[in-house]
């Protein structure tokens, strides 16, 4: 189909009119702010819901201010587990008792990796890729150094995308753990997770999946994919707010023997006994260490309410339409200006964001922010366009790509 530039405004208007989720952006704070022309960074920090703004205020005055310490007995003590179960059921394809919320993603990745390695004594290698998120790489470097293990690095042929064949060539009887991201943070490459898990398990190794950039944007089925461990954050597509607590998944078959290295009172059996010596709690509670961040869990609950209303299939369908529309604009307007696409063109291998590259993009990004157009910059010279299905309209995508075109034209 041949599309002229003047068709795109009409196309965006039609896509918004036909969008089953078209009313949801209005449920978020800032959606009516005229100074924000296009927010294209929802995959980095999601918008708060209007309901969250009300509930946080009510929590301070009523639950925290009114119930005080009684709140722990009434709800807070079990909230990491009850909210974990709900998140697992709605977004992770995880049966109850395998997901908990608390700590940061970094801390949970460390806990899961160390616990997984303890389940594979005698094995000497961790397999990971050089395009994974920096924290994932740094943590594995630290763990390898303190444990005397060897890192086996993958260099994906496609930036950020580890294929089944590439992994199969790297894992062996020496592999204890494979650490990969379900959606690559830069390119948006979507891993073939069930096939990756099968290749990992064929060699007797375990798989730790980082789902930070996929949860809430793509459909995930950790149980049926036979994933061993997973961790992810809640401040991107789940709109939990800056620094909101992360979540951890431990497959039920590993829980009886899983031991994580950061022993704290909240993860002990009968924690209020304050007894001498650490005995891990049964089940997923053993992943916890300290008192969890209850305040940061409130926004996540509000987003889960919205996701339960619409369902993940509808969210994924819109995510694919958003990225496809963005890629069409990039091909028509930006590729002729020297821009390259660093994300998969195959929708089956693409998450909820795309990355485009141009030598001028670091300066362009700063100018875009001044214009109220907010993607983010990823080195060496990439603009990452993140579209959150519950909050991003097709009109915003059009406005954002138009601004990038104009800035490049002026460069």
Q: Which of 24, 39, 133, 189 is catalytic?
A: 133
What are the angstrom distances between the C-alpha of 281 and each of 96, 257, 267, 269, 272? 16, 11, 6, 4, 12
* Catalytic annotation present for 236: yes
Q: Determine which one of 229, 384, 394, 405 is catalytic.
A: 384
What's the DSSP call for residue 28? Answer: B
Average pLDDT over residues 105-111: 98
Instruction: Please give, one letter per residue, the 3-state secondary structure of 98-163.
Output: CEEECCCHHHHHHHHHHHHHHCCCCCCEEEEECCCCHHHHHHHHHHHHHHCCEEEEECCCECCECC
Which secondary structure element, helix H or strand E, spans residue 176, and what is its range? strand 175-181
Arithmetic mean of pLDDT, 288-295: 94
Choice among 28, 189, 235, 247 that is catalytic: 235
Write down the pLDDT at residue 161: 85
Are the C-beta atoms of residues 357 and 382 closer than 8 Å to each other? yes
- The Cα 47–Cα 205 span in angstroms is 38
Q: Which strand (E) or helix (H) includes residue 312?
A: helix 312-329
pLDDT confidence bin for 290, thresholds 50/70/90: very high
- The pLDDT value recorded for residue 159 is 62
Q: Residues 41, 129, 131, 210: which is the catalytic one?
A: 210
pLDDT at 6 over 60: no
Can you state the percent helix, strand and coil of the chain, rounding each to 5? 45, 15, 40
State yes or no: pLDDT of 1 exceeds 60: no
Q: What is the mean pLDDT of the chain?
A: 95
- Please report the pLDDT score of residue 410 as a whole number: 53
Q: Is 24 a catalytic residue?
A: no
Mean pLDDT of 326-344: 97
pLDDT at 372 over 80: yes
pLDDT digits (tens, 9 = 90+) for 41-66: 999 999 999 999 999 999 999 999 99
Chain centroid to CA 258: 24
Catalytic residue among 236, 285, 349, 350: 236
Predicted confidence band of residue 354 (pLDDT cuts 50, 70, 90):
very high
- The percent of residues above 90 in pLDDT, for the chain, comes to 96
**CA-closest candidate to residue 334, choices 402, 238, 388:** 402
Map residue 6 onto helix, strand or coil: coil
**Is 133 among the residues known to form the active site?**
yes
- What is the rounded average pLDDT of the residues 376-391? 96
Distance CA 290, CA 295 (A): 15
Scanning the structure block, which residue is given the tokens 């992360």?
A: 246
* Cα 187 from Cα 289, distance rounded (Å): 34
pLDDT at 409 exceeding the cut of 90: no
Token duo for residue 318: 């819109």
User: Active-site residue 111, yes or no?
Assistant: no
Domains (range + CATH), the chain: 7-48+311-410 (3.90.1150.10), 75-307 (3.40.640.10)
Q: What is the pLDDT of residues 68-91, one digit of tens each?
A: 999 999 999 999 999 999 999 999
**From CA 102, how far away is CA 293, in angstroms rounded?**
7
Instruction: Note if 51 is an active site residue.
Output: no
Over residues 125-160, the pLDDT tens digits come to 999 999 999 999 999 999 999 999 999 999 987 666
- Least Cα distance to 86 among 302, 267, 292, 318 occurs for 302
pLDDT-derived band at 180 (thresholds 50, 70, 90) equals very high
Say if residue 93's pLDDT is above 60: yes
């Amino acid at each position: 189909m041949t599309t002229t530039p003047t068709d795109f405004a009409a196309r965006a208007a039609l896509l918004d009119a036909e969008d089953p989720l078209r009313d949801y952006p209005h449920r978020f704070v800032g959606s009516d702010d005229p100074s924000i022309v296009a927010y294209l960074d929802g995959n980095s920090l999601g918008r708060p819901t209007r309901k969250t703004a009300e509930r946080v205020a009510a929590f301070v005055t009523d639950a925290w201010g009114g119930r005080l310490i009684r709140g722990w007995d009434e709800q807070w003590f079990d909230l990491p587990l009850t909210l974990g179960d709900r998140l697992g059921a709605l977004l992770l394809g995880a049966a109850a008792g395998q997901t908990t919320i608390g700590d940061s993603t970094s801390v949970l990745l460390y806990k899961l990796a160390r616990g997984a390695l303890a389940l594979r004594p005698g094995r000497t290698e961790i397999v990971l890729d050089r395009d994974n998120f920096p924290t994932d790489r740094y943590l594995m470097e630290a763990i390898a150094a303190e444990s005397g293990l060897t890192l086996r690095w993958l260099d994906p042929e496609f930036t950020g995308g580890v294929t089944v064949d590439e992994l199969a060539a790297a894992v062996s009887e020496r592999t204890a753990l494979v650490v990969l991201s379900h959606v690559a943070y830069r390119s948006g490459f979507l891993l073939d997770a069930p096939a990756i898990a099968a290749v990992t398990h064929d060699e007797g190794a375990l798989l730790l999946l980082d789902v930070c950039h996929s949860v809430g944007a793509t459909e995930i089925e950790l149980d049926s994919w036979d994933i061993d461990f997973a961790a992810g954050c809640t401040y991107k597509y789940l709109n939990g707010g800056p620094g909101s607590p992360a979540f951890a998944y431990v497959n039920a078959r590993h829980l009886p023997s899983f031991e994580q290295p950061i022993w704290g009172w909240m993860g002990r059996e009968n924690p209020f006994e304050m007894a001498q010596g650490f005995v891990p709690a049964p089940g997923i509670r053993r992943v916890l260490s300290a008192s969890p961040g209850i305040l940061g869990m409130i926004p996540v609950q509000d987003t889960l309410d919205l996701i339960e209303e619409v369902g993940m299939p509808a969210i994924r369908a819109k995510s694919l339409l958003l990225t496809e529309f963005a890629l069409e604009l990039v091909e028509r307007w930006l590729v002729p200006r020297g821009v390259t696409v660093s994300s998969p063109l195959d929708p089956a291998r693409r998450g909820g964001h795309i990355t485009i590259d141009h030598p001028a993009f670091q300066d362009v990004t700063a100018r875009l922010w001044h214009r109220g157009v907010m993607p983010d910059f990823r080195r060496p010279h990439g603009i990452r366009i993140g579209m959150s299905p519950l909050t991003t309209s097709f009109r915003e995508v059009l406005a954002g790509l138009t601004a990038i075109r104009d800035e490049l034209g002026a460069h």
